Chains A and B, each alone.
Chain A
Amino acid sequence: MFEFLFKLKWFFKENKGRYISILLVLLIVNVLEVIPAQLIGRAIDFISTGEITTMLMWQLISIFAAVILLSYTGGFLWQYLLIGGAVKIESIIRMKLMRKFLMMSPSFFEKNKTGDLMARATNDLRSVHQATAWGVLTLIDSTTFMGTIILAMGITVSWELTFYALLPLPLLAVIEAKLGRKINAAHKESQEAFSHMNDSVLEVVEGVRLTRSYVQEEPEGERFKGMTDSYLNKFMKVERLDALFQPLTIIVTMISFMVAFGYGAVLANRGVITVGDIVTFNIYLNMLVWPMFALGMLFNILQRGNASLTRIDTVLETEDDVNDDGSLIVQDTDMNFDDVSFTYPLSTCQNLKSINIELESGQTLGIAGKTGSGKTTLIKQLLKYYPGGEGRLIIDGMDVAELSRVQLREKIGYVSQENILFSRTVEQNIRFGKPEATDEELMEAIRLSAFDSDLKRMPEGLGTMVGEKGIALSGGQKQRISIARSLIKNPDIMILDDALSAVDAKTEKRIIDNIRESRKGKTTIIVTHRLSAITHADIIIVMDDGEIAEIGTHTELMQNNGWYSTQSMYYQTGGVS
């Protein structure tokens, strides 16, 4: 339980002043909070014995006023400092997480699902916040506040009465801790039922045409009813447990009050305590109920916070598996795959086997082959996304492993298979490739990627928001924006990784022609499923199972009678292979 606090030692040390202040203020406030009950008890005693005078009354009221003012100030201070501290730690960790994400190579994101990483940055962070705010508060409060009250009860009223009356109260903490854990478990189940229900609705809505085509409306409705039933049951299970809290609290506090009154009456009769004492004592008893309850909650809060912090730390402590200590800078873009082999960190077999390619600066390389044959893997070697494999990949006479990653990427324009756009405007997305580009460069990139006519149809032209918060773009439009994003950079090496799959044949041809034209003298690598996109390439390779199955120019490969010529023929004859 205290592991959590120990793990955050660095933070508490850095903010020593803040936390010492919190501790001091809380101590003072706790003492102050004990006073009103005393004042009322005294007042009642003075009245019942007839000792009260106007002077005495105003004295009592002035003390009251002073206490109210001080308590209020103190209450403001600790709350401000404590929750402020929790927000601070939360924002520090959030920033750390983001920095970590930005540093990590793709294999990290393959090992950790997006949803899991997001959970670190949202739910886990929230539990850490809870634990540093309410956890720390309860920890200090339940010890100091309860201590103060119990002391006040014992000293000003009676130790004996205090002992017997408090005997049942720890039960509250135990109940809270136990029941709380049970409720959490039941709650988790009910959340699962809820998300099942959610998924099923999403499915029906997304597949609405299909559901209707196959006339499945009625049966789907029945299926859904089953899910709402199951959710109702799980929900009620939580509520039935939750409903136990109040009655149990009533019973436990009842016992305490019975002791306070029964035994209190006896003591008062003996003259050990006054009637006012009984009133005071009961106010204190009331004040103890909540901290007792909180004490039970404390275990759960700190435990959850600790589990979350551990998960966050695991992410933060992951080392990047691509070391980036290269410092050499390339000038030219001659490329040489010298017997390159590669295995993905999570893969069980070799994904690239002895690849040999020589590409002169300014040439175009076409890569074809079946899905999963290693085309994308091959070009990712150039991007330094993964730790190097065997063999040497040489650019401008230097091994890629020794090149500075930033400098290498500066030379490359990469259009990936997935169309990744950000929730920004069309212009911002394209300028992502080169923020300082001139307007002419921007328009040229748009023209080259054949996005100009689409742009005219966008509601707000270049300022149109895309991505999650913006308009929905077709796959082809996304691909062309991605291409523009790379073209605007005018990179020395341009890589198109199956980047035209959603564009129709005519547009594809236009884009390929534009690229050939504008990138004369610069290296271009095109991965494609449509062979028409690479017939012009200087070198074409056909990948198969991680190996180069065929290599040559279009004319050479057509005479080869291999996969390339078969596929080419297949298209030409229209499917009769």
Chain B
Amino acid sequence: MEELKRLLQYALVYKWLFITGIVLMILMVGFELLGPFIAMLILDNHIKVGGNSIELTPIFQLLGLFFFIKVLHAIFSYYQTVILQKSGALVVQNMRNDIFRHVQKLPIRYFDDLPAGKVVARITNDTESILQMFSIVLPMFMVSALTVGAITVIIFTINLWTGLMMLIFIPLVILWMILYRKYSNDYNHNKRERNSDMNAMINESINGMPIIQIFNREAQIEEEFGALNDNYVKNSKRLINLESATGENLLESFRSLIFAVMVYIFASGFLNDTQALSVGTMYVLVDYITRFFNPLYNIIGQLNIFEEARVAAVKVFELLDAKEEPDDNGRLENFSGSIQFKNVGFSYDGKEKVLEDININVATGETVALVGHTGSGKSSIINLLMRFYDPADGEILFDGRNIKDISRQSLRSKMSIVLQDPFIYSGSLLYNIRLNNKDISEEDARAALVSVGGEHLMDRMDAGIHSELTERGSTLSLGERQLISFARALAFNPKVLVLDEATSNIDSETEQMIQHAMKVVSRDRTTFIIAHRLSTVQHADQILMLDDGRIVEQGNHEKLMQDKKNYAKMYEMQVTGTPV
């Protein structure tokens, strides 16, 4: 229920719009229900069966009134829909923008255990469910409640017996709604699950087709899929059985049953002379009963949308409640580029230490290489440097200032990073180099691309630097995408450059291309390089060999080779393929 309260808070931002919509809706329902009365008046007062003299004027006057009522009904109907849709859409748009902004401020830690797809689902799909609730479910509920309520009252005032009969039927119908929804939900859920299992299997089989075929497993896969498919049919049949037996079909029977009871009430009322009804009254009662059932048809279909929206809202608010990282510290001005790690220790989970007693001294413009096996702590050092995380022990100093006291954004604006998997944003080549930074002119961006040796990219594409790149840069090779990352790093003209395994995963040919770019970008800048391949780091001023979160060797290439310890062994192994 908590989530509904919070949704209401979001809705209250547009309370006047909502109120206008609801008022229009009430008017719409009112005018809809006025219609049958006109019919009653005509039937009772102006039709004399078999009579020769007919007064057409009052009939046409009443029909004129009917016309007027219906036109208003139509107008109210249109505007209430549009206004309520708009207010719902605005609420959800607000929510979306809020979550998006919020996500940008969550600590990086949050993303470590949360797959990207899930975050996206919160921001777009779950909010879309909420939108559906605002745009479909809520208006329909309100209209239905208004209509059903008003009709019940009207019927009571017209004829007590019919009203009492409705009082018996209404709980029955509600009971049916609850039961039907419960079972059809279960079955529906089951069916959808089977369906998505099947689709997942088709998708996976298409992607894994070379493997399935090379291992001659087509028959096995076909059999497994056939079983899923049969199972789906079986589940669908159950749902069909349920729906055919207890769905609209049953509700239809209910309605006919009510008509039968009404025949009894009308006729026995006349026979016992207790209460003879006029033709007009009987007509109005029949008409209202028909209208009474229409909203019921609609509601059942919508209840599960409401349920989905509630679940979605819970998830959305959960994300919104995740704690933001405050970023209100002072700025880093006139940074020269000297960095110090003092007895730094760090742990991701508070238990297992991933870094211990790290001491590094980097003078302005120096290049530091971090090497070691996977899991030795290289990336953790970068994470601390960028303040994606803060150290548990010790301190990191930029120009002697503890970075804990510097705003993250200010700190990061002094650094550029190139990651192992070059990331391409949707947008033009130019956008990918300067992003949203207005300080970088098109000329600067062009110059950056040329300096890292990516000129051919501009030449090759039709619109040069303005060419739109495809999704994630899929038409570019890995090396080319990495070149763009380097150009980006260069264009931002940072004091510190971080290369996080920027040359892994690429073949030696591409590596040579990148090596050049790396040299250009790291010139005159403090540079941190993480590399698997030792050949890329041997010119570094300092090489730090990490093992199990500690620095085990430190020095330049020549020194470490002379030490003949782990570094030397690893180096030998990589270049000759045989250990010394």
Contact = CB atoms under 8 A, between A and B. Distances in A.
B67 A254 contact: yes
B120 A246 contact: no
Nearest to A211: B104
A314 to B, nearest CB: 16
Interface stretch (B10-18, B238-246, B343-351): B238-246
A40 to B, nearest CB: 6
Contacts of B256: 36, 64, 67-68, 71
Contacts of B218: 102-103
Interface stretch (B75-83, B178-186, B309-317): B75-83
Interface size class of A (residues with CB under 8 A): 35 or more
Interface stretch (B228-236, B443-451, B457-465): B228-236
A575 B538 contact: yes
A75 B42 CA distance: 36
Given A247-B77, A283-B290, A205 B119 contact: yes
A202 B252 contact: no
Contacts of B498: 213
Contacts of A573: 575
A23 B369 CA distance: 79
Given A40-B259, A213-B416, A416-B210, A84 B266 contact: no
A312 to B, nearest CB: 13
A84 B238 CA distance: 10
A370 interface: yes
A118 B108 contact: no
A118 B206 CA distance: 9
Given A279-B279, A574-B538, A410 B216 contact: yes
B47 to A, nearest CB: 5
B213 A409 contact: yes
Given A79-B243, A210-B417, A266 B423 contact: no
A9 interface: no
Contact of A43 (B210, B226, B266): B266
Contact of A216 (B135, B211, B436): B436
B209 interface: yes
B212 interface: yes
Contact of A101 (B206, B217, B250, B488): B206
Contact of A243 (B78, B120, B123, B373): B78
A473 interface: no
A271 B52 CA distance: 9
B214 A412 contact: yes
Interface stretch (B85-93, B159-167, B355-363): B85-93
A383 B104 contact: no
A101 B213 CA distance: 11
Interface stretch (A44-52, A163-171, A389-397): A44-52
A422 B538 contact: no
A65 B264 CA distance: 12
Contacts of A455: none
A423 B199 CA distance: 13
A177 to B, nearest CB: 20
Contact of A102 (B47, B198, B205, B386): B205
Nearest to A242: B81
Interface string A17-39: 00000000000000000001001
Interface string A192-208: 00100111111111111
Given A39-B263, A279-B279, A279-B283, A52 B270 contact: yes
B90 A254 contact: no
A54 B81 contact: no
Contact of B426 (A203, A209, A501): A203
Interface in A114-162: 114, 117-118, 121-122
Nearest to B191: A87
A207 B120 CA distance: 13
A467 B240 contact: no
B233 A279 contact: no
B413 A261 contact: no
A161 to B, nearest CB: 14
Nearest to A287: B290
Contacts of A52: 267, 270-271
B97 A228 contact: yes
A98 B202 contact: yes
B499 interface: no
A304 interface: no
Given A571-B508, A575-B536, A109 B257 contact: no
Interface stretch (B148-156, B299-307, B509-517, B542-550): B509-517
Nearest to B64: A258
B576 A213 contact: no
Among B39, B49, B81, B266, the most chain A Cβ lie within 10 Å of the Cβ of: B49
A409 B508 contact: no
Interface in A526-577: 529, 531-533, 535, 567, 570-575, 577
B89 A201 contact: no
Contacts of A246: 74, 77-78, 81
A201 B100 contact: yes
A52 to B, nearest CB: 5
B531 to A, nearest CB: 11
B187 interface: no
Interface stretch (A232-240, A333-341, A347-355, A514-522): A232-240
B286 A283 contact: yes
A223 interface: yes
B116 A54 contact: no
A266 B54 contact: yes
Interface in A230-289: 231-232, 235-236, 239-240, 242-244, 246-248, 250-251, 254, 257-258, 261-262, 265-266, 268-269, 271, 274-276, 278-279, 282-283, 286
Contacts of A44: 266, 279, 282-283
A529 B507 contact: yes
A79 to B, nearest CB: 4
A542 B498 CA distance: 35
A320 to B, nearest CB: 11
A111 interface: no
Contact of A75 (B77, B252, B437): B252
Contacts of A422: 204, 208
Contact of A258 (B63, B90, B104, B204): B63
A268 B47 contact: yes
A217 interface: yes
Interface stretch (A88-96, A181-189, A292-300, A359-367): A88-96
Contacts of A104: 209
B417 to A, nearest CB: 4
A287 to B, nearest CB: 9
B225 A95 contact: yes
A109 B206 contact: yes
A250 B204 contact: no
Contacts of B217: 432
Nearest to A216: B435
Given A102-B218, A205-B111, A574-B538, A258 B209 contact: no
A205 B120 contact: yes
B287 interface: yes
Contacts of A458: none
Contact of B74 (A39, A40, A121, A247): A247
Interface in A40-81: 40, 43-44, 46-48, 50, 52-54, 56-57, 60-61, 64-65, 67-68, 71-72, 75-77, 79-80
A261 B63 contact: yes
Interface in B481-536: 488, 492, 498, 505, 507-510, 512, 515, 532, 534-536
Contacts of A577: 512
A236 B89 contact: yes
Contacts of B204: 422-423, 467-468
Given A64-B263, A370-B507, A243 B81 contact: yes
7 contacts: A54-B271, A84-B237, A212-B388, A216-B436, A224-B97, A258-B63, A571-B535
Given A278-B283, A531-B577, 11 more contacts: A39-B263, A61-B264, A91-B230, A91-B233, A95-B225, A106-B209, A109-B206, A208-B111, A239-B82, A251-B74, A422-B204
